Structure 1
């Protein structure tokens, strides 16, 4: 064996240094190269994933109010840390691989290789775990908004603080006030109020999660409302925009269903279906709220409001404060005359905030009286030329006009501008004129159609209610209507209005051919001499002047005239014979004139639909067969004709009025009749005609001779609205026969349409028990009936329990006047619920010691009781609570 050297190494000496990693952990060493390659590949993929996520985050964060999710931000941070660690490990790769021996199964430095291999394996596991975590569906979310976004706003308008407080109370305290409506005419300040409500949430401690604002406007777009809501509650993004309206509604409902919200909807023109939008309906459970503004009161009903508030125009003192704030103290104090001139401009605005603001700003730089006087002239004569009025005011209001359902309703509105500023327009007369113009068809029920249209205009806040079954037109609305009629649609409408202008003669018109509707009412014109050539004139208002004479030729060239109003000319005694030229006339109003005779020439007016002769006290002659010529007559008003004591005995109209009744019976188109009947014979003739009974709307019975009892079948006068009984000194009883109606329908009502009753100088009447058969009475006047002892007699009621047992008298009564009734002892036997009563007037009724009142009869503070102090002090009350309740209601008149 020679030179061989034998070296012996004990086995335990070789095993000992590696025994710690050969026992299940040797893989950290012998798999080191494989793990390093896997770690490099995994890191590359992780970096690619990180880059993709960062790009998605960058794109998301470019959208308003979007920020990355915290989990995404944390993941990116962890990825960067691991990337740094892995890069460092891979940087030591060569050095650690050089330590390996025995084909990689062992290491020259076992502990060092083990530690390095372990770090590689651990980082590989972390990288793979981060790869799994990085698969995000969403990488960003909308930043949590404040519950409310502040909106720029004008200061609260003086006079609107009260409504603001009421709405805020509904939002904060009244759990059952889920839906709240603010309504009023355009320019009155509804949006300002809603904005104030929005901004009040900024400083409130309310626990609403969201206060959402959305402008709706005339063209309702459900998806636009949804996007406003979606934007506020964090749903809006590019993908959500592509969803259908139904899907958006579902998302909104799911989101808001878990939250308490306030939804503010500005400028609603029609019902917004909250369910279709996706808004959960407010209720006591979810305590959410919806507040909206609208120009139409009927929208409040369509939206099922729990509370509604009308935003009114300002009172004068409030208007002055607002105007002053826009003009400025410097301008108002720049000349002593300017404050007085400012008052005139304020009056022209009629309390409309938008007009006050517009005119106030325009006048702020004007510091001489001359400038202010010129501004007043412009505003009165051509208000649309005043700076800002056309663009800022009229165009805004015109949206309401344009939104009216059809051309008929729009024409009816414009027609209302023929009357002077602040004029109380009779609804009844206005409807008659609409029929005469042809806006409405002369058919049965046309009055109801007219009232329906008036209701639409009232609901749109384009007309306003006024006392005495009247309406009025706000000055600025009237100016807007005239602007439309005279300038925007002048070719079609042709308005020329100089009502209430102080005229003493017919004004100069450059081109009469363009005039279709001419109003010269409420002036001081005494004589009409000039004969204007008006080939296209349709309506002529000459009422409420001082007319004494109309020249024969005045109507010579008005071939198309349909409506002629000559009423309230108290000195007009005669019509010109050339009125016969008005063969197209459909409406003739001669009421409250001194006309003594209707000329025979009127017989050419075969198209006449409405003839008003009311209160023509001196009218004594109507040619025979004249009325019967008006075969198209729909409305005939003849109350108080020939009532003057100066009417001659040979009066053709009244001594032979049975003949007049015969002529009326011939009028087959007659639907509405107001008439005075002054003898029992004429009355019986009238009662014998079913057509006339069906047409009767107002009836005055006077001088009924020696008739002690009057029997009327109430069901035959189902449209009777007003009944007057006067100077019937022998009349003891009015019998109302409604038995046939009861048997047929089991309804006990008699005069179902009767609203007004006036009875005077009927000294033998003992009671008025028949009132109980007029359930809709809202005005009762009884005077100078010496024998009257009771209004409702209990014994008579007991005779017909099947008819009257369930009836409550005076259920909707608003006004009760009792005068000179020396023996009146009782109105009704017990206290009544008079919830609509506004005024009671009692004079010279010494035996009336008790009123039908208890503490629950009326709403607190809603009734005014006028009378003599002594009578009031001697009244007997149901109890002390009743006396205390009504003590503040009394006003002494003597």
Structure 2
């Protein structure tokens, strides 16, 4: 009987295994669908985190490594689930259970990653506490008395809350920018200066967020909790809060802003066009008056150029033109910008006559201002340039518009037609932007986008936006609600039959709804902008039924799951943008949309390529990026012979792509080297201007750009994955190839062994990932590799056998100096998970690294020295090495003992990060000495992020005061 128990347990185990096998087999379809849903939720969280990251980066924070790793995990899971999807359609009966088990594992992994993506303590590492942000500003002409009065109130003990009032364009914001920067520079009374632009549509949630961000703090989601949490953050702090462009009265208590104090603790300044708003909030009112005649003339001449007065006949006319501006700085600057470079007397007289007639013909202050500004608009002359300017009014107030995104929108609108190539259209677009900036109708801005990508941008002054809307109201029919607070789109009776353009982008609402069965009667509607409304989850089937004239539809970054079939009624549609609709699974047949020129399906969840795509013979732009479709069906691409822009993350056939003779931008993957070579043969040396290829990968794992790629930024590159690199000696080298990568190729031990590498002459960057065979990057005894002399970026990831970057070996003395300069152009070096390497650079290579700006080392467990010390060291005590090094990141290097030996120092460092380097005891920062012999911080230094206070205290310094001097840059 003693055997019964064990036998029962064995049978129980076998029974459990059989049941598990049966469940995995039987429930495969349901589990696959469940996996897809879980992955959709994960990607939505990814999108939300990207928005949080943008805000953190704008506030000077650095994204945490654990967040970056989380994004990599999400990307891997997308790829893995895509592979499972492919297997699911072809799985045999006997393999279903095995696949079902794998699906269940992936569901658990996706759920785990989803939970890890909560990041309750934030997604970024704080920089050192900053007192505020220095703002770019024009010179201040006049208003010195106003500025001094505001300053006295801030420094005094009688006024806590100040309201700066005046008409739009009078200079309120400029004055406060000067105050902001003066406070940062001169005042020791306040710990913090906080600047928030409020704008016409007051968004309490965003106002709270912006204030909290300035203190590197996050807030809870609940309304009451948020106000309480913000009040707790602000209580006890000494700050000046500047709220620019306030239109409505609001309760400080509801926001969570403590009452300002009379003493120099908490002061608040708001600017507004309304004196009533300022008074109702209890402000001491400071009114900004128009400029005097002399001040107006000085400002005008500063912008038009003082040389115009060399013509004595112009002096009287210019004086009268300036007088017409009524002392309004915005009008003066704008009109001066439009007249810059004009020296013809007749043209100046005509300008004066036009301005006089405008002012006589209108009534009302706002209208008078608009007519002054409209003078510069009219002087643009070209109706297409004018329409490019008016298009900017479709964006929300104070919105920072990425230049490339704006140019793409102009292309969609047909404003840059007739130029043939996409490059010519972008060149024309940049030319128009320059003209609008030079005429002071747009102002240059700079902004950070997803994942820290810096981009050139523009902004439209709020008064100029009002003027643009004033113009379109008189000649066009626009409905512009961009950036406003709405819970659902305008009721159907407001969608009038003569509407031409509707902008509902970036509505302030958690859930934006379109009423069910809504079907606006808008036969003239040509443009509908609904992008950046993540709360918009569905569109009624009838919505597009009566929009036959629709040409541009932008639904990017919305939460829709399906595009309604009624889109087929929009037979004149030119541009359909659905980028970053992560939940979008269904797009109806496009067979009826023969006029379509742009189709953007980037980062969607579509199950298959939309039906009828092969009939879109006018298509010039196609972007398809989804984890589900295995590949584009055979024969589709050759039908799209007008394509200029093609980005697809699936395998393409070389011969088919080669038939697209008009391609300027191409990003895709080829399943093997043979397909890539087939493509190269087909194009006969006529490579696209901008390209990126992956060869041998299952699909493109990551696009170079998550937003609209700029032609200037697009890097021409090829990445070989799972390829025998040593055997690649016959492949054509693309013209202009600047980026080369290899991944999971184990047949070479250094780049010198790769024949293809010797053919490349213009290489700017090189990536080597997961290549187990490589033990050094370049062996100088084999070859000096001319390809490396222009290289600026080198990334080495997960190379388990890499023992050195450069192997000097037995290089002949006469050629040694030339060979050691192979990295003379190198600016960035990144090593991740290279577990064998002990010394990064030999000391002999040091003289060839004079342009190195960035070193990032992660999880190189045996790394002991950055610059190896040795008998050949020629730098003495205090010698400056790596003269251009700006950023040094050292993370998880437990064996690291030295950055550089021999008493050498680094002078130009801006950012330093050191985590988990317990054996490192010296940071070789060169500290300038003052006249009294005390050290001062390096002028370039901005941030120091370190592992722990205990480690920082254990460091050894060359000067006893060094630690104290550097502490204010410290974030532990």
Q: TM-score, normalized by length of structure 2?
A: 0.45
Greater RCO, 1 or 2 (C-alpha within 8 Å, sep 6+): 2
Q: TM-score, normalized by length of structure 1?
A: 0.49
Highest Rg: 1 or 2?
Answer: 1
